[in-house]
Amino acid sequence: MAIKLHTCGNTWIKGPHPCWQVKKALTTQRIPFEEVGEPLRRGKRDELEKISGQRMLPVIEFEDGTTYRAESRDMKETILDGKLEGTGVSPATG
pLDDT band with cut points at 50, 70 and 90 for residue 12: confident
In whole angstroms, give the CA distance from residue 32 to residue 51: 20
* CB of 4 closer than 8 Å to CB of 57: no
User: Hey, which residues does 5 pair with through a beta bridge?
Assistant: 35, 60
Whole-angstrom distance, CA of residue 56 vs CA of residue 91: 13
Q: What is the pLDDT of residue 30?
A: 94
* Rounded distance between C-alpha atoms, residue 17 and residue 13, angstroms: 6
Provide the whole-model pTM. Answer: 0.88
The answer to whether residue 86 scores a pLDDT higher than 90 is no
The residue among 61, 14, 77 whose CA lies nearest residue 69 is 61
Q: What is the mean pLDDT of residues 54-67?
A: 94
Please state, for a pLDDT cut of 70, what percent of the chain lies above it: 94
CA distances from 25 to 30, 47, 68 (A): 8, 25, 14
